[in-house]
Chain A
Amino acid sequence: MAMTGVLRPGFIQVRVLDMPAAVEHYTRRVGLHQVTEGADGRVYLKSAEEFDHHSIILRRAEQAGVDFIAFKVAADSDLDSFEKRVKDYGYAVDHVAAGEQPGVGRRIGFTIASGHRIELFAQAELSDPKPPIHNPDIWNLEPHGMAARRFDHALFYGPEIEKVLDFFTTVLDFKCAERVDMPDGLLAIWLTAGMKAHDIAFVKHPEPGKLHHLSFDLENWQAVGHAADIITRYDISIDIGPTRHGITRGQTIYFFDPSGNRNEVFAGGYTYYPDLPTRTWDETQIGKGIFYYERQLNPAFLSVVT
């Protein structure tokens, strides 16, 4: 197996102001399924295209935003080796016992320079619905809503992203697929643990720990158009799109969940191999990098976060 260490984003815990509205949004509109509800009221969701127990956790809170993102690692022993590497780097590591979330094994967690909590886990039970694996049909349960296929990545906003870049590349073995450099320094980074154009991205921002968006993978551009139809039909708050990113090349829509957390659905993007160079953007073409068709940032891109 060529992929070792961090494999991919596993799940993200999002704070919502109104749980029933959030569940309706993510299940009926985005197209996820509710796996279970925990005793503490957290709700666990997944796509029928995902095997692991869940990929989205909703937590009722007074403030919107993100609690943490967790990446799945290849082996349980990776948790020990990453714990050592993170500690050697100078960050405190804490432990979350198996079962703190249903179906998920032990986790380690730490806070990075941008103020975000990152977790790693190695084991997750399978849950239904999940893709068939023997003589598999395309699906057992037909897709609904926007037909999200997986929780794909998140974009976080916070300070000190030079340090975030160094941490992810030296400690977690991520690669930087793409970056934006402004005259006053590094503005944004797109980081990948595998062969997607990104698994997580960061934009420099004065407030720590902010969520710009969590993103779901769709099958193709036609599905992005269908998602746009759903957004209008159900009066979901739109940010921008359908459009395309120059960076990662994804075809995309940004919209907001009922608590104001930005969501993205997207299709496509290039394949990244670990030997590829980092693609770079400068101040003159950043508009095209973020929104390839509009060729400029919309006012919300740099300022609207939760």
Chain B
Amino acid sequence: MAGEKFTITLEGHGLASGFPHERVLVALERAQGFGQLKDLPLKLPVGCRRGGCGVCRVRVTQGDFHADPMSRAHVSAEEEASGLVLACCIYPRSALSMRLETPVVIKEKCRKAAQLSEEETSWP
């Protein structure tokens, strides 16, 4: 479907690339797949559901829970103690309040990863 390409602006959310023989909605779906549309009423960030990828990070503001091991690439032991956890790794022991702390800024993740012990992820 090469050929002419048009920028499609979804106001308030971002840009998509459209093509003459393609429905605009299909272009928007593709843009969404590439994360080019921001602040859409997207569903919850869900990734591995097993504590490895970090996309489900939340800050628990109230309540008790217990936790499975979670990757220290995304939550340090100190952060975990302060309530910053991966939602897929915690189980409630009371009513909970929390807010999303989705790690959207990759640079931030890189900085944190670099701070973590080198020997943990470099082999041998």
Taking Cβ atoms with an 8 Å cutoff, the residues of A that contact B are 13, 15, 17-18, 59, 61-65, 67-68, 94, 96, 100, 109, 117, 183, 206-207, 209, 237, 239, 256-262, 282-287, 296-306
- B106 contacts which chain A residues (CB < 8 A)? 206-207
Give the secondary structure class of B's interface: loop
Q: Which of B28-70 contact A (CB under 8 A)?
A: 29-30, 32-35, 42, 45-53, 55, 68-70
If the complex has contacts A207-B110, A304-B53, are A237 and B48 also in contact, measured as CB distance less than 8 A? yes
- B33 contacts which chain A residues (CB < 8 A)? 287, 296-299, 301-302
A284 touches B1 (CB 8 A): yes
The 8 closest A-B pairs by CB, nearest first: A260-B52, A260-B48, A64-B52, A297-B33, A304-B47, A67-B123, A237-B49, A260-B50
Of all chain A residues, which has the CB nearest B27? Answer: A284
A18 to B68, CA, bound (A): 9
A68 to B116, CA, bound (A): 19
- B42 contacts which chain A residues (CB < 8 A)? 299
B46 touches A300 (CB 8 A): yes
B120 CB within 8 Å of chain A: yes
- B13 contacts which chain A residues (CB < 8 A)? none
A298 to B32, CA, bound (A): 9
Chain B nearest CB from A17 CB (Å) reads 4
B17 CB within 8 Å of chain A: yes
A300 touches B47 (CB 8 A): yes
Q: Which of B71-119 contact A (CB under 8 A)?
A: 71-73, 88, 106-107, 109-110, 113, 116
If the complex has contacts A64-B73, A96-B124, A260-B71, are A17 and B30 also in contact, measured as CB distance less than 8 A? no
- A285 contacts which chain B residues (CB < 8 A)? 1
A62 to B19, CA, bound (A): 46
B50 touches A258 (CB 8 A): yes
A303 touches B47 (CB 8 A): yes
A237 to B52, CA, bound (A): 12
Of all chain A residues, which has the CB nearest B50? Answer: A260
A73 to B62, CA, bound (A): 56
The residue that A259 contacts in the complex, of B2, B71, B123, with Cβ under 8 A, is B71
The residue that A256 contacts in the complex, of B34, B48, B120, with Cβ under 8 A, is B48
- B113 contacts which chain A residues (CB < 8 A)? 207
Q: What are 18 A-B interface contacts by the 8 Å CB criterion?
A: A17-B51, A61-B120, A63-B71, A63-B73, A117-B122, A206-B106, A256-B48, A256-B52, A260-B52, A283-B30, A287-B30, A299-B33, A300-B47, A301-B33, A302-B34, A303-B35, A306-B48, A306-B52
- A117 contacts which chain B residues (CB < 8 A)? 122-123
- B11 contacts which chain A residues (CB < 8 A)? none
A282 to B19, CA, bound (A): 13
- B88 contacts which chain A residues (CB < 8 A)? 260
- B51 contacts which chain A residues (CB < 8 A)? 17, 64, 259-260
- B19 contacts which chain A residues (CB < 8 A)? 284
If the complex has contacts A207-B109, A283-B17, A303-B55, are A260 and B1 also in contact, measured as CB distance less than 8 A? no
A302 to B71, CA, bound (A): 19
Chain A nearest CB from B67 CB (Å) reads 11
Of all chain B residues, which has the CB nearest A17? Answer: B69
A261 touches B52 (CB 8 A): yes
A65 touches B73 (CB 8 A): yes
A49 to B46, CA, bound (A): 34
Chain B nearest CB from A203 CB (Å) reads 12
The residue that B116 contacts in the complex, of A63, A67, A260, A262, with Cβ under 8 A, is A63
